[in-house]
Amino acid sequence: MASQACLPSGACDCHMHIYDARYPAAAGASLTPPDALVPAYRTLQSELGLQRCVVVTPSTYGLDNRCTVDAVRALNEAGTAARGIAVLRSDIDQATLEALHASGVRGVRFNQTLGGTSLDDLEPLADRIAPLGWHVELLLRGDSWPGMVPRLRALPVPVVFDHFGRLPYPAMGHAGHRAVLELLETGRAWVKLSGAYLQGVESAAWIADATAMTESFIRTAPHRIVWGSNWPHPTVHAGLHDAPDDAELLALLHRWIADEPTTWRVLVDNPSILYDFPTPP
């Protein structure tokens, strides 16, 4: 693993998963990676210089958020400030919603690339989570965004685009890219700089495309961009790509964002706002 430049205090990995065989996979789950546990992630954090993280419930567990909630608790107890993103339906009872909030959950994910919750739940679930200050996190095919703009503009909560908006290669000039920029300009949408390698092309091509996308996002809304590792890179186990080097992925951020104030904003300030992290003592 390559060495890293010193990161700002409070640097946050805003997209990672925990897999644990103690929690059964959902019926029909198409992606069932091996265990990737809290101690292994803590080791990676130490190597990279990260101090906070956001645990995202993966498609493997369907609507079962126990692995995520337990991981958030374990990380916090071990000294890593952590938040969670859950997968829910709109008929969830209020007591469970409030318990998830107390556990550190701050958003709901819709993953349409691997099954996941129906988008019919988008508006009613957004109405349920708005009083909690949560957001909606979306993983859809990038060509979905132009048709989704009116729906997303009308939501009562912020929208977070997973994995660069999952835009197809080449993203620059694509209608989905223009739609993401349009929503960023509203000040209520966010983009995660994560999973760029999922574009399915050789590394030089996706790095160049991700660099151009990042520059366009930063020009449009530097206060609405966060970064994530996507550890432990679960799609490796589906044979979709080789395992990326986490240190190299983080090093790319320093190539994409040259100035220190914007790097600080992306790694520290923006996550603090989006995920409602407590103010450090």
* pTM listed for this prediction: 0.95
**CA–CA gap between residue 136 and residue 110 (Å, rounded):** 8
Q: What is the phi/psi pair of residue 188, to 5°?
A: -115, 5
pLDDT in tens, 175-193: 999 999 999 999 989 999 9
**115 with 109: CB under 8 angstroms?**
no
Domain boundaries, the chain: 12-274
Q: Is 70 left (phi over 0), alpha (psi -120 to 50) or beta?
A: alpha
Task: Report the pLDDT averaged over residues 34-46.
Answer: 97
Does 3.20.20.140 match the CATH number of domain 12-274? yes
Q: What is the largest CA-CA distance in the chain?
A: 48
The pLDDT, as a whole number, for residue 2 is 41
* Neighbouring C-beta atoms of residue 173, cutoff 10 Å: 8
Task: Write the DSSP symbol of residue 48.
Answer: H
Numbers of helices and strands, H then E, in the chain: 10, 8
pLDDT in tens, 73-103: 999 999 999 999 999 999 999 999 999 999 9
The pLDDT, as a whole number, for residue 239 is 59
Residues 6 or more apart from 87 whose CB is under 8 A from it? 57, 61, 62, 63, 65, 108, 109, 110, 111, 116, 117
pLDDT in tens, 123-175: 999 999 999 999 999 999 899 999 999 999 999 999 999 999 999 889 998 99
